[in-house]
Amino acid sequence: MGSKGLEINPRFSCFIRSGTRRYQADVNLIKPLVLANPSRVEPYVGLGLALERLSFTGAGATSQTNVGFNYIVGGTVKSAGACSHSGSSSTRC
């Protein structure tokens, strides 16, 4: 979803390992960059806000909550053609 070339990019992550649990919720604002000479790579930049909850289990366990900022730089690579799906596990591009 987006407006005026901006896209809202929500995300939720959960990592569970022995003795720890980490949850993170992010809301990012992404701006696609327009190139003078279009190519297969579509670059973007963005920023966002993250809320992280880290908890430990066991004797004397503690937890903490952190707020942070996300700085995003990346690109999307366009495929040369359409992909076709045939069968339960094969995809051809």
Residue 31 phi, psi (nearest 5): -120, 110
34: pLDDT strictly greater than 50:
yes
Terminal Cα distance for the chain, rounded: 26
pLDDT in tens, 40-73: 888 999 999 999 999 988 777 889 999 999 999 9
Parent domain of 87: 2-92
Domain count, the chain: 1
- Look up the pTM and report it: 0.64
Please state, in angstroms and rounded to a whole number, the distance separating the CA atoms of residues 53 and 14. 10
Please state, in angstroms and rounded to a whole number, the distance separating the CA atoms of residues 9 and 4. 15
